[in-house]
Amino acid sequence: MADRVQYKLGATDYPCLQDKAPQYPADCCVAVSELAGRQRLRSAQRRQLDVPRYQRSTFGRRAFSVAGPTVWNSLPDELKNATDEAFSRLIKTFLFSQY
């Protein structure tokens, strides 16, 4: 069950980074390389997303603005650099074959 949620979050993050998603989810996925003063960080070169701080421990980490970037940052670099066609297949293989 948790893998299906991670798949949906990862599948939603990918179009956000390709500028093919609606405005709201795209606003929640901010690349570290786009933030002032963070362009030279190692996380910026690995195409990681900024995970905002949250106040509530019950719902804050489950919000898309936190959960989406967290799942994206946990994916391997090969997945983050994949093409549109290969990404869907590779993320399914990565998440559902970990058992």
* pLDDT tens digits for range 13-71: 999 888 888 898 888 888 888 878 877 777 777 888 888 888 877 778 888 889 999 99
**Structure tokens, 72:** 């994206």
Give the start-to-end residue ranges of the domains of the chain. Answer: 2-96
Query: Global pTM?
Result: 0.80
